[in-house]
A = this chain, B = another copy of it.
Amino acid sequence: MPETKFKKTEDFNEWYNEIVELADLCDKRYPIKGMNVWRPYGWTLMSQVDRLTRDQMQKTDHQEVCFPLLIPESSFKKEEEHIEGFGSEVYWVTHAGLNKLEEKWLLRPTSETAMYPMFSLWIRSHTDLPLKTYQIVNTFRYETKQTRAFIRVREIHFFEAHTCHKNFKQAEKQIKEDKEIADRIFKKLSLPFIFSKRPEWDKFAGAYYTISLDVLMPSGRTLQLGSIHQYKDNFAKPYEIKYENPQGKHEYCHQTTYGMSERILGAIIGVHGDNKGLVLPPEVAPTQIVIIPIIFKGKEKPVNEKSKKILEQLVDENIRVKIDKREITPGNKFYEWELKGVPIRLEIGPRDIEKKQITIVRRDTGIKKLIQETELIKEIKKEFEEISKDLYDKAKKIIDEQMHRVNTIDDATKLKGIIELPWCGNESCAMEIEEILEGNTLGEPIQKEEVKEKCPICGKPSKTYMRYAKTY
């Protein structure tokens, strides 16, 4: 059976590009570089991730909205740090038909500056708080670095939650909830990740602080999948987002945001995939089970009937299932569905029917077993859980093996992956380490802890650990 041309373990980048194309996730041949076409399989997978996100947001009383794509320059310019951070990365609409616009508009890189002028109209009283909203939309960044499907693109499928609160403490509670939501979402995707508090110079433009969510890709580089921001009243002041408290006094809101992008797909492909192709977590697989009828001449009817019966049983359980009836060899079907990462394959042949049994094959391990027909639903549910758990454990083991806490530069240079070193808190020391390790600062661990070791650069007492890694 043919495998992919490139091996994940040998040439991760080429393997990644090949899988994206072979599994019909997206088409990179669109005439604008970095703006890719979502093909049906890729779009369905992304929609499943979105469904998972929506589900979590609804359960935590967030309401879905949809703001305009275009932002007037004057709205955008109200928060100074924000415009400095994004100004060189946005696309500008300057003309409508043949007319030059009076004021130019930009394509949202993120929606703070679209939403906050409206929030200032929506919020009047303390009874309007908390305001918890989110949207899932296309956003735009003018990337000058090399693009890569789902990982570095110019039109980005983006989730962004925006909340407003009475004070800093309430906003901090929201940050806590966001972290719990992230834990639940990425557990369902079997993706272990780490939270890091970004250093001052690398936080989101306008934020008070930024927490990033990073996964470790098999290339040894980290990939940032999302971030959670505490804004304090940094945006509320220029955008005049105020409420009247019970005493009749007007106060500024404190705000948070939580963002994630299509990079989640990049992580699913990269972390779980293998040389045969995608390996999808059952939670988001567009097709969770494929049924392959093993047909012998003269035995078509009972096999097809049984396959249909099994399909109906699974559909009744809300399982996403397909029968592959095409007139090609079972081997070719196996190859294709393995490439597409379908978590479970069922094989149904005439002998199985006689024995009232079904062959079940796991995509992640390749392990084949026979189960009794009467046990099907119970077994499938158990397998789904085990696949999710095993995928998670496998990925967790890798990130655990590649996360190192050391005290000296010497030790650090011998290691790969994510490296934690004591840090005094000075930017210059972190910058020096970045250069030595040829990596980037990820940020500090979010759990406070006492650090006894000295900063390996300046020798002063350390305030915390700083993480370094090669990043996407």
Contact = CB atoms under 8 A, between A and B. Distances in A.
A68 B133 contact: no
B96 A91 contact: yes
Contacts of A142: 96-97
A129 interface: no
A35 B142 CA distance: 23
B91 A37 contact: no
Interface in A4-61: 27, 29-32, 35-40, 43-44, 47
Contacts of A43: 64-66
Interface string A104-131: 0101000000100110011000000000
Copies in the complex: 2
Contacts of A121: 27, 29
Contact of A40 (B39, B64, B137, B157): B64
Interface residues of A, number: 50
Given A31-B117, A64-B43, A118-B37, A87 B91 contact: no
Contacts of A95: 91-92, 94
A76 to B, nearest CB: 11
A interface SS class: mixed
Contacts of A371: none
A90 B96 CA distance: 6
A72 interface: yes
A65 B38 contact: yes
Contact of A105 (B27, B32, B138): B32
Given A95-B94, A97-B88, A68 B29 contact: no
A68 B155 contact: yes
Nearest to A155: B68
A66 B37 contact: yes
A69 B88 CA distance: 20
A357 interface: no
A67 interface: yes
Contacts of A65: 37-40, 43
Nearest to A97: B88
Given A32-B70, A65-B40, A155-B70, A97 B93 contact: no
A98 interface: yes
Given A32-B72, A37-B67, A44-B64, A94 B97 contact: no
Most buried by B among A39, A66, A72: A66
Interface string A131-165: 00100011000100000000000010100000000
30 contacts: A27-B121, A29-B118, A29-B121, A30-B67, A31-B72, A31-B74, A32-B68, A32-B70, A32-B72, A37-B66, A37-B68, A38-B66, A40-B63, A40-B64, A40-B133, A43-B64, A43-B66, A44-B64, A47-B64, A68-B155, A70-B91, A70-B155, A88-B97, A90-B96, A92-B93, A92-B96, A93-B94, A94-B95, A97-B142, A137-B138
Given A35-B68, A40-B63, 17 more contacts: A29-B118, A30-B114, A31-B75, A31-B117, A32-B68, A32-B70, A32-B72, A32-B105, A40-B65, A43-B66, A44-B64, A88-B98, A91-B95, A92-B93, A93-B94, A97-B142, A138-B138
